[in-house]
A and B are shown apart, each in its own frame.
Chain A
Amino acid sequence: MRECRLFVLLLLLIVGGGISLSAQNRVISGKVFDAEQEPMVGVTVQLEGTSRGTITSEDGSFAFEVPSGETILNVSFVGYITQNVKISANQTDITIYMVEDAVLLEEAIVVGYGTQKRVNLTGSVSVVGGKELENRVAHSVTHMLQGAVPGLNVTTSSGRPGSTPAINVRGVTSINGASPLVLIDGAVGDLNRVNANDVESISVIKDAAAAAVYGARAAFGVILVTTKSGSAIDGKAMVRYSSRIGWEESTTSTDYENRGYWSVYTVNKFWNADSGTLYFNYTDQDMQQLLARVNDKTEHPDRPWVVEDVRNGRNQWVYYGNNDWWDMMYRAKRPVQKHSVSLNGGSKDVKYLVSGAYDKQEGIQRQQPDIFEKYNLRSKIDFNINKWATLSNNSSFYTSKYTSLGDGSVDNTIGYSARHALANIPMKNPDDSWVYGTPYSSYKVANGRHIMLGEGSHRLANIATDFSNTSRLTITPMKVLSVTADFTYRLYQTRNVSRSNPLPYREYPDAAMAYYSTGAGDNRLDEYVNTRNYYSTNIFATYNDTFNDVHNLKGVVGLNYETLKLKNLSAWGRNLASAELDDLDLVGQDAEGNTLTGVGGGQNEYALMGYFGRINYDYDGRYLFEVSGRYDGTSRFAAGHRWGWFPSMSAGWRISEEAFFEPAREYVDNLKLRGSYGSLGNQNVSSYYAYLRLISLNDFAGYTFGDGSAMGKYSTIGAPVASDLTWETSKQWNVGLDVTFLNNRLKFVGDAYIRDTEDMLTDGIALPGVYGASPPKMNTADLRTKGYEFSINWRDQVMLASKPLEYGFGFNISDYSSVITKYDNPEKSFAKAYYEGMRIGEIWGFETDGLFQSREEAQAYAQEVDLSYINNRITGGWQGGDLKFRDTDGNNILGIGSNTVDDPGDRKILGNSLPSLSYGFNANVRWQGIDIAAFFQGTGNHHWYPHGQMMNFWGPYSYPYLSYMPKNFLDKVWAEDNRDAYFTRPMAYSATSGPMSKVNDRYLQNLRYLRFKNLTVGYTIPSNLTKKIKLDMVRFYFSGENLCYWSPVKENSEYVDPEAVIDRSNDVYQNAFYPWAKTFMFGIDLTF
């Protein structure tokens, strides 16, 4: 980059010919370095107030004559802060360290269909430079953006390797949920599939005005990723190689109860409290045996962990062990590595960049780790065909593969393993057979998941490939006009393979080996292929001219067309001839000679078209105006409701350019006020043909009419639809202020906005169940989101031990709140999802007043207040250790009134599930080749009422027979001798359907957190040493991601990461889930 600037500068200087030298009194000589103590070539050194000066040579040195006496030199270089250096009367030589300009007012920012000088921006656009991502060892660009851009919210959706976080711009966008549009070099792409090292810059477009040229899908922000291009530096090719390895660990505790006695005791206690029986049918003598071993870390020869005994006329194994099931199933440390290489160079007419990266993450599965691998390739070539035409071709290829063991998914495996594996039970019997059923319980140990992992017989593979190619031709018939046409083809595909096999186990020492062979134990192979073909084309013309030196006019007009076709294929077969090989050619026959197979299909397509335009005008760089709009059509709505017009405008005033601002200019370098208003559309309805009611044909999962050897078939009709569905519209007001102070060292950017999302496609109204179908979506609801965001950055350089020390810090914060402004719920009933005036995320629940401390107290209260609404699972009547719900409305009945906002019974708003603030702050310092950077990220108050099946939080108050029980759980359980306990008396299922399932203030959690997101420490070997071995740059570093967190929820559970409390698609996935990871990596970067 620097070289590039040098080239430009040289050209300017030569062309401008502004160098003149004349005889002076003395010669001043000196050297100019950057903060890394590299000599800087081509720096302009000028005598203040004159045009006299010179530029530095190859080794950064300069010399020229200056007048005698004290004088001042202006030292300047593009991208660096201009320095005014005082030279004393007798000084003859000087060393100058340049400071990088962090603000770069003249920098070109990528915006829709073009670029804009930062200084001229009128919309709200945040930019993240590639450099800011370089040090991060998070696994995707999306992860890296968390906390980096104010107003951009990134939610980690799973701890699984290769999982993709959810991304959202400026809070609640629509009650349908919607994601920002992501464009990679102008074509729709996946942010998670971009090689972070390829990124030149990322522009996050937040307001409507800046996004307007993208109309249809830009209502909820646009993220523009620009990848690096080749550059021609004297025809020299530059190679960059970087490599790093390290490991990951869980962010939360995984130290679960591993003592057989406490595991069985606790589970039985909770189970018994509910049903009066035992879950694990152990006698008192068995419990004594367990107690005798409670401190045995390993099996003591005198106290075996499995004993054979004759019971009920049968020889059986009795399990007395202390087994750590989490530890046996999953491991704590898992290796990760990443390697990338890029080659970049070119000549005047052809420039190229080729890069590749390989990423490997091993997962937690112990016996055979789950592995996520990905490869990225990119090739980018730019041709100057002639002086008025350029052509570029940009290809990227991505492939990833995630292999794991288990059935269905890794989430399935972890979730189902979380039940029935008590710590006294080993994975295997003494005869090396698997434990599955036991005579002591009617449930299956870990639902057999340990057998799947141990046998390696259940294999899953998820493979994704993504190829994209964009060719772009730009012609410039006249200096002020250019026309660009591009065409993108993208082919992406996911392929899933799922194999299951019978699970062997033995229940009694004298029993034959048994096999579980239905469902997850079926000998079966499933394969799915989903293929997507995407085509897009853009044609646009850009006009750019200046009149009378003060009227700057720029315009873009163009057309965009996109279409996606997707096709699914699936096939399955049973009774494969091999247990190890997974291919449908191996499908065999069942005992009766039937070949059992099935196939499935499905295809869809959609198309989008838009005409867009934008005009920018500014007067002398002081008054800035922009008008843009897009006329957009989508195939997802019926003809007649298909097209929408989405205009926007914005303006800016650079106050700092005004004459009256002159006095303040010493402190304030730039002051700009911005404002914008625009409307955008959202076509994101759930289905491709949402306006049609269609018939689909299906096979029953398990029904036949006995005619032939095939499943019965049936047809269904889609739920009723509203045929006049049309665009959701989002209208957004934005005001912003950009200020830089103190020679660009301090920078402030602030924005405030109001966004009205209108005609949201909602479930028109929640309809009574007698309607018999999901209510049709209609354009009926409105939402208003208000918010602000700002960032402050400071960057400076000081001398430490006469060496330059560069440092900087930054802080950003954002907040928003969303309120429903229109919804068809006049009675404000809670039975409908929303009501007018509802703040999104609000949590209604009961107030409580501690736990009853005695039966008398509880009974007296139950006499006074009718508690029958919340007495489910209360056994033996209300008693000590039960939760006291407050009858706040004083009607002596605990209830929900008429279940409306105006009559909510004894409930009130307890909190809000959306974060009240999101913030990030970073600090970095660089000195003598050492660089240190730290990054923190966090949120303000937000609340969570734990899901009833979140066993990590509720322990046995959820389903009582959990495998992974928080250690020493009984310390938290109310008892006569533990009256200050956090939880109530033992009660299985209390959190799923008993008193604790009723949302209340006692168990409401505050998820506010602060996370030490990243720490990087690096060392760059001085270049004079590395040059000797022909290397331009060598840097070693350590980087840690997600190092630790602070949160109030930690007080109540060490096992729940505040970012992990997200909605999961299946209740079982709440029982246990892939732990969130922290990463430690060591790396090296080489450039030559």
Chain B
Amino acid sequence: MKRYIIITIALITGLTACDMLDTKPLSQISPATYFKTETDLQLFSNTFYNNLLDKSPYDDQSDLYIQQNLSAEMIGGNRRTVPNSGGGWSWGDLRKMNTLLVYIDQSEDEAAIVKYTALTRFFRAYFYFEKVKRFGDVPWYDKELGSADEDLYKPRDSRELVMTRMIEDIDYAIENLPSEVSTYRVNKWAALALKARFCLYEGTFRKYHNLSLEGNDYSYYLQQSATAAEKLIKEGPYSLYSTGNVNKDYLTLFAQENASKDEYILAIKFDYSLGIYHNATAHTVVATQGRPGLTRKMVNSYLKVDGTAFTDQEGWQEASFVDEVKDRDPRLSQSIRTPGYTRIGTTKVLAPDLTGSVTGYHPVKFVQDPTASGGQVDRNDRSTADLPVFRYGEVLLNYAEAKAELGPLNQGDLDISINKLRERVGMPYLNMQAANGDPDWYLSSAEYGYTNVTGTNKGVLLEIRRERAIELNQEGFRFDDLVRWKAGYSIDQEIYGIYFKQPGAFDLTGDGVADVILYEEGTSKPTAPDGVQVLQIGQDILLSEGDHGYIYYHKNIARTKFSEMRDYLYPIPINERSLNNNLTQNPGWNDGLDF
């Protein structure tokens, strides 16, 4: 008996002696031993690239580029609602940045500390730019918030404060990031490009929305933008991608497997063997992926190759497709299918596919060689051309616009920016005086253009906007541009396509042979050889005037006019306002809350 008691006691004390409850993590690392090496810091910051960069800029919808199903922004009215949660009000990445900035001091590698502090601050500016665009005033946080921190419940900070902090961040990044070309990693030049971009946004937003806040005025931001862009232009290692082929280079740039190191300052890498894809090719070549098309308004804005405006030409409104696309800015033929279009790597001439593009102006930008991705590039989500985040072309446009909006602009500014873009495609230079002397009627009309551009640079500003729309077509900038220009009404302008003057056969490839036959209900369906599209008007194709007119795919879709009062900003989710009553809702949004 005694024996057992002793054994029992021995066992119990034995088990207690070593703390058998002290288990240690076996597959994760403690923060105390992390954040030491450059690799640690790099790995921790890698997540910002993946989380923040836009991996599908090509499908952005706007008044210039539309798809079969219109976005909520395009339909407007009650299709845009206040969400309960989500809706872009996500702050996890900001926390990660602020966390890294806390832990980074654990490292003893001083150079790495500076470099990754700069990188993190670059992304913090990038993060806040997205928030400001979407919500306007937002609270600024540059610390890791505790769960009891009163700042969780603070009201929005003023736009001015957020912008000031963003400029501090980006200036630190510009100062401290490496200056070597690194296409897939953020460097000093990417920071300059970001600064040029967001300062232009802020400057023009304040200018056109007539927003004057305590602190800096709009011209300060325009100046900051221009200075950053100029520094990049003058000191940076970048240039426009060009082989001297004005009819190919623009198209090739976006369809290349690997980013152009000359022009892409920061790009996202896509890789077939790793299975990292985007959908840009299928998006336009597969009829079931969205059926995108440029709108007629956009196509009209491409100049004639001699530099004159197409819309100044006699009969421009009822020109046939083959006629209208003739002798235009070479970028038109590198943006949509025009007569003679053959896909990269093939020889077959392709007509615009009216069942593949809702306007008939069938996009070709980003479309890769069909042999890419092991020959499967045409399939849903199999595109591998690297996508740009910042490219030199945009910097040039930002520079020109900032300068022009600011006031003092000279021909030299245009020559180092806009005219470089024109040079690549063989277009005549933009002449400041000529443009300002006779502002384009089309671009300033209420029906097609911008009604609120004024001042001495009105003419050249309109031309810069024309250039921007054309050059940056399908790259995801347009909706933001409309917001900062206070041009929401552009969305309400007609989203028409190709013109057909009557039912019958039409040539779209300029070879004199019909590619499409339109017939009316009640008439018998015409027979046609293979490859010719036979479409019944009113059923397969809608035209603006019934039996003739512009393709009007969205004719029967009820759209609500852009709300000038409401639609420039997005709503704050209901739950967020319920949790923090200090957050005011953006104007015009009914979230059901009575405060």
Q: Which residues of A contact B (CB under 8 A)?
A: 275-277, 283-284, 310-315, 437, 439, 441-443, 475, 477-478, 481, 483, 516-519, 522, 539, 541, 559, 561, 563, 574, 590-592, 594, 596, 601-609, 611, 633-635, 639, 642, 688-689, 692-697, 700, 702-707, 709-718, 720, 722, 764-773, 775-776, 778, 827, 829-832, 866, 868-869, 871-876, 891, 893-900, 903, 905, 993
B111-147: which have CB < 8 Å to A? Answer: 139, 141, 145-147
Residues of B within 8 A of A720 (CB): 146-147
A594 touches which of B68, B273, B379 (Cβ 8 Å): B273
- CB of B21 within 8 A of CB of A609, answer yes
Interface pairs A-B: 7 shortest CB-CB = A772-B95, A831-B578, A895-B592, A442-B288, A694-B28, A772-B91, A869-B592
- CB of B530 within 8 A of CB of A768, answer no
Q: A-facing mask of B34-65, CB < 8 A → 1, else 0? A: 10000010011011011000000000000000
- Chain B: which residue is nearest A993 at the CB level? B81
- CB of A706 within 8 A of CB of B20, answer no
- Min Cβ gap A757→B in Å is 22
Cα distance A716–B96 in the bound complex, in angstroms: 8
- A276-B558, A539-B8, A770-B139 as given contacts; A689 in contact with B578, CB under 8 Å: no
**Can you give 21 contacting A-B residue pairs, CB < 8 Å?**
A437-B288, A483-B4, A517-B376, A518-B379, A522-B275, A559-B12, A590-B273, A592-B272, A601-B27, A689-B23, A694-B28, A712-B46, A713-B43, A714-B46, A773-B95, A869-B592, A875-B558, A896-B574, A896-B592, A899-B578, A993-B81
- B346 at the A interface (CB under 8 A): no
Identify whether the interface residues of B are mostly helix, strand, loop, or mixed: loop
- Min Cβ gap B138→A in Å is 9
Cα distance A718–B153 in the bound complex, in angstroms: 23
- B184 at the A interface (CB under 8 A): yes
Cα distance A311–B528 in the bound complex, in angstroms: 10
- CB of A702 within 8 A of CB of B275, answer yes
- B590 at the A interface (CB under 8 A): yes
Q: Which residues of B contact A (CB under 8 A)?
A: 1, 4, 8, 11-12, 15-16, 19-23, 25-31, 34, 40, 43-44, 46-47, 49-50, 68-69, 78-79, 81, 85, 89-96, 99, 139, 141, 145-147, 152-153, 183-185, 268-269, 271-277, 287-291, 355, 374, 376, 379-382, 528-536, 539-540, 554, 556-558, 573-581, 583, 590-595
Residues of A within 8 A of B96 (CB): 716-717, 772
- A712-B50, A898-B578 as given contacts; A868 in contact with B590, CB under 8 Å: yes
- Chain A: which residue is nearest B378 at the CB level? A514
- CB of A559 within 8 A of CB of B578, answer no
Residues of B within 8 A of A276 (CB): 554, 556-558
A592 touches which of B47, B273, B539 (Cβ 8 Å): B273
Residues of B within 8 A of A712 (CB): 46, 49-50
- A539-B11, A767-B579 as given contacts; A604 in contact with B26, CB under 8 Å: yes
- CB of A313 within 8 A of CB of B20, answer no
Cα distance A770–B22 in the bound complex, in angstroms: 35
A311 touches which of B40, B43, B534, B554 (Cβ 8 Å): B534
- A477-B4, A769-B89 as given contacts; A705 in contact with B269, CB under 8 Å: yes
- Min Cβ gap B104→A in Å is 13
- Chain B: which residue is nearest A703 at the CB level? B50
- Min Cβ gap A309→B in Å is 10
Cα distance A517–B528 in the bound complex, in angstroms: 34
Residues of B within 8 A of A705 (CB): 46, 49, 184-185, 269
- A596-B273, A635-B21 as given contacts; A518 in contact with B382, CB under 8 Å: yes
A706 touches which of B147, B269, B594 (Cβ 8 Å): B269
- A696-B28, A897-B593 as given contacts; A706 in contact with B4, CB under 8 Å: no
B91 touches which of A439, A596, A769, A871 (Cβ 8 Å): A769
Residues of A within 8 A of B575 (CB): 831, 899
- Min Cβ gap A349→B in Å is 22
Residues of A within 8 A of B529 (CB): 313
Cα distance A821–B380 in the bound complex, in angstroms: 53
- CB of A639 within 8 A of CB of B19, answer yes
- CB of A605 within 8 A of CB of B20, answer no
- CB of B274 within 8 A of CB of A603, answer no
A715 touches which of B44, B381, B590 (Cβ 8 Å): B44
Q: List 14 additional A-B contacts (Cβ < 8 Å) besides A559-B11, A605-B23.
A: A276-B554, A284-B539, A315-B530, A477-B1, A561-B15, A692-B30, A700-B46, A711-B274, A767-B147, A768-B580, A771-B147, A873-B78, A898-B594, A899-B577
- CB of A767 within 8 A of CB of B273, answer no
A313 touches which of B275, B532, B539, B554 (Cβ 8 Å): B532
Residues of A within 8 A of B31 (CB): 693-695, 717
- A695-B31, A767-B579, A872-B78 as given contacts; A590 in contact with B594, CB under 8 Å: no
Cα distance A895–B592 in the bound complex, in angstroms: 4
Residues of B within 8 A of A590 (CB): 272-273, 374
B528 touches which of A313, A709, A829 (Cβ 8 Å): A313
- Min Cβ gap B164→A in Å is 19
- Chain B: which residue is nearest A895 at the CB level? B592
Cα distance A539–B147 in the bound complex, in angstroms: 44
- A711-B274, A715-B43, A769-B576 as given contacts; A695 in contact with B34, CB under 8 Å: yes
Residues of A within 8 A of B25 (CB): 604, 688-689, 692, 694
Cα distance A766–B8 in the bound complex, in angstroms: 48
